[in-house]
A = this chain, B = another copy of it.
Amino acid sequence: MPDTIMSKEPTSDLENAMQMLIKTFHKYSGKEGDKYTLSRCELRELLVEELGSYLGNSKDNEGVEKVMNDLDSNNDGEVDFTEFIILMGALTVACNDFFLDKTDDKPKDEKKE
């Protein structure tokens, strides 16, 4: 990694999360072709290796094709960083909803520390 904002030591969990999202994208996008976008092959590798336990470990092409088609809003067969962040945002909101559903049997006004 070049000596830029990305090599700055994160000082909080949020900064750390942002750096991890950026570093993970470029770890895969740099493997072949345009190094700033994910090809189908790179996207498949990222989904299986980094999100396998959330998305299921299926290596079927159909699932990857579906995600690629949903994400690739400009139809160039590549997923850019903004498209990747939209996926990650949607997944994180879904995880949070799941987390809230699981805790919804607790009284709404209960205070936790």
Contacts and interface: CB of A to CB of B under 8 A. Distances in A.
A41 interface: no
**A-side interface mostly:** helix
Contacts of A86: 89
Contacts of A51: 12, 14-15
A17 B17 CA distance: 4
Given A12-B50, A14-B51, A53-B15, A22 B85 contact: no
Contact of A14 (B4, B14, B24, B81): B24
Nearest to A97: B81
A56 interface: no
Interface string A1-31: 0101110100111111110111111000010
